[in-house]
Chains A and B, each alone.
Chain A
Amino acid sequence: MKKTSEKVIEGGLAFSALITILTTIGILWVLLSESIGFFQEVSIIDFLTDTQWTPLFVQKHYGILPLLSGTFLTTAIAVAVALPIGLTIAIYLSEYAPKSLRKKVKPALEILAAVPTVVYGFFALTVVTPFLQTFIPGLGSFNAISAGIVMGIMIIPLISSLSEDALFAIPKSLREASYGMGATRFQTAFKVAVPSASSGIVVSVILAIARAIGETMIVSIAAGQQPILTMDPRDAVETITAYIVQVSLGDVQHGSIEYKTIFAAGITLFIFTFILNNISYWIKKKYQEKYE
């Protein structure tokens, strides 16, 4: 009697765990089935090489490049902001700061990651853009740079926290050897600690990039909705995610080509984040036990 109930419970628990697999299958199935429909109407070569993306206009073009450039531009700005600041915070907290400060600052920084992204979007539009307009003449109210900077602020804790963990995991003996040779903390940090923790730092940066690529609300609110192929951070751009939002807000019929475009855009986004996540997972697994 007892054995059967134990088995039933175990089965139920296993099924719950399997739901995560079903989620992945569901995502792949949904993205693939709808984008196959899309690629029956639009050739994949056009999709990858056309420099215009105008599915909602009369003159329709389906080139993903403008959306990719918008995504790339905002992500690059975000990383340019978050990487130096996040890494400096990590080094400061692990190599310089007293333990008590470290204990207090880490959770405080996590607040930055807990703020809903729609709030960051509002921040970019109503605070950062007007501030930038005071010294960048002709900056429009929607632009890549403001959205990128705010996105960078959002991902600072991601980089600082994971990099700090990596630095903290380095054995003390390495640092002591360096100090014993008369090196300063600065030299020890950059010539011993950072190189030793490089795999963990790289993982944190990759995860931050993946996060920025998939970020939606900040770019939807502050970066604009103009899919143009540009690398000028002052321009209004449209990211892949912002395009999906734009279409979802309108009234688009199921089965129409406009409806399918969001899945084609979605699968492009999914492929990028999937590759980045797997690289980081692989690095983590490979270098995890280096010092144990």
Chain B
Amino acid sequence: MNNLQKNRLFDTYFKYFGIACTFFGLVVLAIFLVNIVIEGAHRIDWDFLMNLPSRRPQKAGILTAWTGTAWILGLTAIISIPIGVAAGVYLEEYGKKSQLATIIEINIANLAGVPSIIYGLLGLEIFVRVLNFGGSLMAGAFTLALLILPIIIVATREALKAVPSTLRQASFGMGATKWQTIWYQVLPASSGGILTGIILALSRAVGETAPLIVIGALAYVPFVAKSPLDEFTVLPMQIFNWASRPQHGFVVNAAAAIIILLLITFIMNGIAVYLRNKWQKKVNW
């Protein structure tokens, strides 16, 4: 075999190796999903969704967990969306050349790389102790809001960047002020991109466990939270708790709860992808 043939052979081998690698992760994910469904799907019924946690796996349900997740989702959204979008608008539209903006930009890049458990330590000191929220929904939501702020800010900036400057100039030309231009022209034009980023960030918050463990979210909460200052648990906490128990009944429960959690995350991601595609098709500057 001469060199040329050898090189061509390598080329072909690598191609198939590449295909194999590309599908490796997806195949593993598929195996896992099938496994989870076989293990847990039969456990999901109305009682499982509506029962309080229990020491007996057959009677235990995820009512407190999914209501807690819904609370956390709502509160985190209320806190993080206005701050994140406002910060993104400031950095992209106002502070582009200032030194402060450069420092903030480097800072955000750094914050995005800080492990989530460190945010848990921050929340434990600031929200749980100094502001005295205790291990409540408020403390959890504020902690997660800080965690996802960098994602929302970066997404907002990307969306604003995609708006052409002619749109701004046309608005200025009509006598609009800077804020009027942003509020009536730029933000509506970029809303699709911003919304996509927000949904992705919130889906990240829904799946987070580590920071909530650190701020003291409980694994066993026998009541449904009624106010933001109540103690709480969330689906990932419940899964973590069940997964670390030896009885097989709880492993089944964990698998069933994972199906619910994955449904929520995949639906949120699906909406985000749908919005992104729709927005990209519609806007053609």
Contacts and interface: CB of A to CB of B under 8 A. Distances in A.
A9 B126 CA distance: 27
A256 B258 CA distance: 36
A278 B113 CA distance: 9
A30 B122 contact: yes
B15 interface: yes
B227 interface: no
Contacts of A216: 115-117, 209-210
A107 B273 contact: yes
A274 B118 CA distance: 12
B240 to A, nearest CB: 5
A69 B243 CA distance: 25
Given A14-B95, A273-B115, A119 B17 contact: no
Interface in A75-93: 84-85, 88-89, 91-93
- Interface range for A: 35 or more
Contact of B244 (A119, A221, A269): A221
Contacts of A52: none
B26 interface: yes
Given A2-B177, A210-B113, A88 B86 contact: no
B149 A254 contact: no
B11 A12 contact: no
A123 B7 contact: no
A122 B22 contact: no
Contacts of B266: 111, 114
Contacts of A89: 18, 21-22, 25
B52 to A, nearest CB: 21
A22 to B, nearest CB: 9
- Interface range for B: 35 or more
Nearest to B106: A281
B167 interface: no
A127 B113 contact: no
A10 B177 CA distance: 12
Interface in A199-250: 207, 210, 213-217, 220-221, 241, 244-245, 248-249
B179 A6 contact: yes
A12 B107 CA distance: 19
Q: Which of B35, B107, B114, B266 has the most CB of A within 10 A?
A: B114
B251 A126 contact: yes
Q: Which of B101, B178, B213, B261 has the most CB of A within 10 A?
A: B213
B115 A214 contact: yes
5 contacts: A85-B25, A89-B18, A116-B262, A122-B255, A244-B121
Interface stretch (A40-48, A55-63, A168-176, A183-191): A183-191
Nearest to B244: A221
A215 B115 CA distance: 7
Nearest to A184: B11
A72 interface: no
Contact of A118 (B18, B32, B109, B236): B236
B103 interface: yes
